[in-house]
Homo-oligomer: A and B are copies of this chain.
Amino acid sequence: MTDTDLTTDDSARNIDAGRGPGRRLHGAIAHRLGTDILSGKYAPGDILSGEVAFAEELNVSRSAYREAIQVLTAKGLVASRPKAGTRVLPRDRWNLLDPEVLGWAFTGEPDKEFVRNLFELRAIVEPAAARLAAQRRDKADLREMKTALTAMRQHTLTTEAGRAADRDFHKAILQATRNDALLVLSASIGAAVNWTTVFKQRARALPRNPIPDHVRVYDAIVAGDPGAAAEAMNVLVDLALEDMRGSMPD
């Protein structure tokens, strides 16, 4: 409704501005609307302008706009009813753990409270996952963890390759739990971890060497010691949380 700017220039109001290479048009629209909702530009309860009006405003066809709306509907962000229009759903209906939604939440300055909540979830899930991994891991799992650790040593967390290695390490642990439900959380937690390292790196150059913490977790899992693995992971998450707190204003 507010339509912050979208300058009067024709090219600027083109949705293609936010369109990546492999991303389709309706995907770009969903991204745009998704970020607008997550950023609070459209608040829960707000009603989006009608299909025809909004599609015209974005210079896209109604089909493309509608397909984007279906995506947002599938993620629990909006709901449409004839005559009533398309309205933004209350926040507790949003699939906040959906990887794409999570990505939208992290464009721009993410909500501090939400980041804190994600870390809390991580502090609950990851130590438990490490405990299970210590019980169930096989040689292939350990090999993947070792590979990721080596990669982390080579490229520091300041590089994308290093952050990818970090994600791989945690993902390898979750895979070792033999639990699909835990694994899908990997995408969410991985995104949070990734954003955190980016943020951390932005604040200070490199506050602390993360390798020893990871090695302790790895060693405990190799030894097959569930308690030690959980405790080591607990320490790792705590330290990461501490680092984040240190680099965040609040």
Contacts and interface: CB of A to CB of B under 8 A. Distances in A.
Contacts of A124: 124-125, 128-129, 182
A139 to B, nearest CB: 20
Interface stretch (A67-75, A144-152, A202-210, A216-224): A67-75
Interface size class of A (residues with CB under 8 A): 35 or more
Contact of A67 (B66, B95, B129, B183): B66
Contacts of A94: 184
A28 interface: no
A161 interface: no
A100 interface: yes
Interface in A76-92: 76, 91-92
How many identical chains are in the complex? Answer: 2
Given A71-B73, A74-B74, A75-B74, A97 B63 contact: no
Contact of A63 (B63, B76, B188): B63
A117 B66 contact: no
Contacts of A129: 124
Given A70-B71, A71-B73, A74-B71, A96 B26 contact: no
Given A74-B100, A98-B98, A121 B67 contact: no
B71 A114 contact: no
A187 to B, nearest CB: 8
A159 interface: no
